[in-house]
Structure 1
Amino acid sequence: MSELRLVIFDVDGTLVDSQVMIFEAFTHAYKQVGLPVPERATALSYVGMSLETIFPQLSPEADAATHAALTQGYRDAYFHIRQTQGSNANSPFFPGAREVLDQLRAQDWTLMAVATGKSTRGLDKLTEGHGLEGYFASRQTADDHPSKPSPSMINTILSETGVSPDRAVMVGDTTFDMDMARAAGIKTIGVSWGYHPVEHLQADRLIHAFAALPQAIDDLIGPQG
């Protein structure tokens, strides 16, 4: 049998374009507690981290109770938007993403996984909305791990799949993703369409379209073993 390889995906800003939905949730949360809504670019630059980590950094002047209220307000708003409008409308795939996921899934020697700052409930709804059941051998969320860039999610994925670090790669759009992967000792592929400027990513490979991903994976961790 060929040696397995592993492709780990971030979700928001990498696989799906959820920025409108995310900023609506930020806006609702801040208005609910009576605080000024942060600038859009500033708020979105924190996407990928766990909510409990985001708000103390985004609004350090607020107290712990306010941070907790912001976190709950965001979750409530996000849930409401998703329930009323659906994942396909508010978190559509980036162009070419579904096609590449299908291509990788068809390879017996390739496993896929997810490491996301989303909650498990959020990931479940997204998976259901896009029909991704069975695509990922491991799904790690903010519910069970410290926030990125801790390598905890990737370490768990490696343990669950049994794939060695030299045959694994992280695909993401933020420095949180890249730093998490480096801390876990795996290669990195940065995408140029996400939340952080590409010059900050310092990825092993940078791609500007999903169609370039399969070759980047082959280059970094090898094709079929």
Structure 2
Amino acid sequence: MSATLKLVLFDVDGTLVDSQGDIVAAMARAFAAVDAPLPERAKLLSIVGLSLDVAMPTLAPDQTEAAHQKMIESYKTAYMELRAQVGVAQSSPLYPGAMDALRSLQAVPEFLLGIATGKSRRGLDKLIEGHALDGLFMTQQVADFHPSKPHPSMILQAMQDAGVEPADTVMVGDTSFDMEMARAAGVRGIGVNWGYHPAERLGDAHVVIDDYAELAPVLDRIWSMPR
């Protein structure tokens, strides 16, 4: 009898890569485009994970819809320019242990890996290319085709792509949006303690880890529990 397939979904920004420098710089350009005051850094990072059409009204509720659209376009242009200046590996470096963890999980025959991110398709493609992650993720869910997190659409589609049940799926992420999305989809969330939301905001997480070395043992414990 073959082993049951397991799906491990990853958020990107704040979970796999540290892109906060470019995010904050691109946000500065976005706010300057509409002559709006720039929120504090912590406020800017608090919305990472949300789709831009949700993030901008959240950060700048007093701006008009047209202004929000201008901010979104300015952000996208700035982010691409910043990334092009230094390259993906330097612009959005992988967190320590991330690559080793991904390769180790990929080597387990019954494990399938996937992405659920607020990034655009174009942005994710650039990141995968820049870090040589091609072939790692069998399902890739991006903001272009889904409602913003914490809506469960990304996880539900990923499970459908993989043919995997909720009990055999986990979502790994750094924000409350990731953990709320996991709960809404009926899967367990693994929070990481190195991203953009503090651990106390990850209340919906099944467990919070402090290092990528903890991920495989946590997965073993989760999936050894009675179904």
TM-score, normalised with respect to structure 1: 0.97
Aligned positions of 1:132-151 closer than 5 A: 132-151=133-152
| Structure-2 separation of matches of 1:88 and 1:193 | 18
SS at match of 2:28: helix
Instruction: Name segments (4+ residues, structure 1) moved above 6 Å.
Output: none
| Corresponding residue SS for 1:74 | helix
CA distance in 2, matches of 1:87, 1:185: 34
- Which secondary structure does the structure 1 equivalent of 2:7 belong to? strand
> C-alpha deviations, 1:62-94, integer Å up to 9, x for none?
000100000000000001111121110011011
Q: 2:217 aligns with which of 215, 218, 223?
A: 215
Aligned residues: 223
Q: Percent identity?
A: 49
- Tell me, yes or no, if the aligned pair for 1:169 and 1:221 is still in contact at 8 Å: no
Identify the residue that residue 129 of structure 1 maps to in structure 2.
130
Deviations 1:83-141 (A, max 9, x none): 12111001101110000001001111100000000000000000000000110010000
The gaps in structure 2 that reach 5 residues or longer are none
The answer on 1:3 being equivalent to 2:4 is: yes
Partner of 1:43: 44
2:105 and 2:224 map into 1 onto residues whose CA distance is 14
The residue correspondences of 1:68-87 to structure 2 (distance < 5 A) are: 68-87=69-88
Deviation per CA, 1:172-219: give whole Å up to 9, x if none.
000000000000000110000111110110211110000000011111
The residue type equivalent to 1:216 in the other structure is V
* 1:140 partner amino acid: Q
Instruction: Give the drift of 1:221.
Output: 2.4
For 1:58, the equivalent position in structure 2 comes to: 59
Report the alpha carbon displacement of residue 145 of structure 1 after superposing the two structures with TM. Answer: 0.1
Q: Given the alignment of the two structures, is residue 153 of structure 1 paired with residue 140 of structure 2, yes or no? A: no
Gaps of at least 5 residues in structure 1 are: none
Aligned-pair distance for 1:35?
Answer: 1.1
For 1:130 and 1:19, the matched residues in 2 are separated by: 17
